[in-house]
């Protein structure tokens, strides 16, 4: 997985576009295979923030502590909810009202945390301090608009990995 941090931006871009392509692929008369492809494609696409948020923990300065466990739990909650909704609704999506909407509010928070945590991690490593939302809001939007944001994020991640490699040599 460490190679994922060292990958070039165009390699990650191709992987993300491939995930999006697979998720939009539809096989006529085989809804099960279509669902499997949609889930595989979206999981591939959303693996990038999860991998970055998890692997960059090793590069954080000692004095900076982030809620990594909450990030992992929220990632699991929102990805599981997404997969379950896709399976139950045959990929059409669902609407939640009443009491059923309450867990979905947390799922929405989990999704936002899933996107914000890697941005906060990157900025905390670069600034060598604990950061606030004002510091990493730009990186958050780069992750939200991932296929484009990857061209700006991955070179910075490569610099972080190279700098750490230089310190250990």
Task: List the domain boundaries for the chain.
Answer: 2-168
- pLDDT in 10s for each residue of the chain, 169 residues: 677 788 888 888 888 888 888 888 887 888 788 888 888 888 888 888 899 988 988 888 888 888 889 999 999 999 898 888 877 887 677 788 888 888 889 999 999 999 999 999 999 998 888 888 999 899 999 999 988 888 998 999 989 888 877 766 5
Nearest to 138 by CA among 116, 105, 111, 166: 116
pTM of the model: 0.83
Specify whether the CB–CB gap between 18 and 44 falls below 8 A.
Answer: yes
Specify whether the CB–CB gap between 2 and 164 falls below 8 A.
Answer: no
């Amino acid at each position: 997985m460490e190679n994922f941090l060292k990958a070039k931006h165009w390699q990650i871009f191709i992987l993300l576009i491939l995930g999006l392509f697979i998720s939009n692929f539809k096989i006529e008369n085989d809804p099960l295979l279509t669902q499997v492809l949609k889930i595989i494609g979206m999981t591939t696409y959303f693996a990038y923030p999860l991998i970055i948020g998890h692997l960059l923990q090793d590069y954080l300065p000692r004095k900076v502590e982030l809620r990594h466990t909450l990030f992992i739990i929220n990632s699991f909650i929102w990805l599981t909810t997404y997969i379950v909704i896709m399976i139950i609704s045959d990929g059409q999506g669902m609407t939640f009202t009443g009491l059923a909407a309450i867990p979905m509010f947390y799922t929405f928070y989990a999704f936002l945390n899933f996107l914000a945590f890697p941005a906060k991690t990157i900025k905390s490593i670069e600034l060598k301090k604990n950061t606030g939302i004002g510091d990493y809001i730009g990186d958050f939007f780069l992750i939200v608009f991932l296929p484009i944001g990857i061209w700006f994020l991955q070179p910075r991640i490569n610099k972080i990995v190279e700098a750490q490699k230089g310190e250990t040599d």
